[in-house]
């Protein structure tokens, strides 16, 4: 099943429609109790990725699912296309004079910041520079997907699961990062979060397996 694509905006227009879509999705797939609540919470978190990025910024939201051996695999998707004007780009770049946005805290805040940077890049060179400017947390989560399998895309992406594994392997000076994971609703409830950076868009997919 796939819901309709809903336009969500930085001022939270579209949030109610997204939440309604999650309710209908849960009812259709007979998700009740904690399962339905977790879907609602993850939907709300996904919409918050768009909130406050920039005035008049918009993204596409939808939920899709497929049956797997262990249950129902749900994917909450947010697609942000690069459509930023010069004035908006200047506004983004001036968000923080220190070069670091203080709002980029926690997993959700960091993903929001990646979306912010990706939509403001104006050419391929700047797009590559954006990768280099990302915090170490981004590099720790990079997953190389050699072949497309099932619903995944055949390209590199940031993976919450990969990030968690690499963070555990470091073991030193990671208290703050682990604290972020512990406090993150997405990190607690989602089985996986994937972020694809492309020259014309950024896509975030939150995956949750419901064992029904």
Answer whether 0.85 is exceeded by the pTM.
no
β-pair partners for 71: 68
- The 10 Å CB-count burial string (b at 16+, else e) for 26-65 is beebebeeebbebbbbbbebbbbbbeebbeebbbbbbbeb
Residue 175: the pLDDT is 82
Domain ranges in the chain are 6-210
CB 210 within 8 A of CB 66: no
Phi, psi of 106 (to 5 degrees): 80, 165
Sorted by sequence, the CB contacts under 8 Å of residue 106 that are 6+ apart come out as: 180, 183, 184
Select from 161, 188, 159, 164 the least CA-distant residue to 38.
188
- The pLDDT profile of the chain, 212 residues, written as one tens digit per residue, is 999 999 998 888 999 999 999 999 999 999 999 999 999 999 999 998 877 666 677 889 999 999 999 999 999 999 988 665 545 445 444 443 334 444 456 788 778 777 777 666 555 555 555 555 555 667 788 877 654 444 444 468 889 999 888 888 886 767 888 888 888 899 999 999 998 877 777 888 999 999 98
């Amino acid at each position: 099943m796939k819901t309709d694509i809903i336009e969500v905006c930085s001022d939270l227009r579209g949030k109610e429609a997204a939440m309604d879509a999650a309710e209908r999705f849960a009812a259709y797939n007979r998700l009740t109790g904690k399962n339905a609540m977790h879907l609602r919470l993850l939907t709300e978190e996904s919409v918050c990725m768009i909130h406050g990025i920039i005035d008049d910024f918009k993204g596409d939201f939808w939920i899709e699912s497929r049956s797997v051996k262990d249950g129902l695999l749900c994917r909450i998707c947010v697609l942000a296309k690069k459509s930023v004007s010069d004035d908006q780009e200047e506004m983004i770049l001036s968000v923080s004079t220190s070069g670091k946005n203080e709002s980029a805290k926690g997993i959700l805040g960091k993903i929001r910041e990646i979306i912010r940077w990706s939509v403001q890049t104006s050419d391929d060179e700047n797009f590559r520079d954006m990768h280099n400017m990302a915090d170490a947390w981004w590099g720790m989560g990079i997953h190389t997907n050699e072949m497309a399998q099932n619903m995944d895309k055949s390209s590199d992406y940031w993976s919450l699961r990969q990030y968690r594994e690499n963070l555990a392997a470091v073991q030193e000076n990671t208290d703050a990062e682990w604290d972020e994971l512990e406090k993150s609703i997405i990190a607690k409830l989602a089985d996986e979060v994937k972020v694809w950076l492309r020259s014309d868009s950024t896509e975030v997919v939150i995956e949750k397996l419901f064992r029904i």
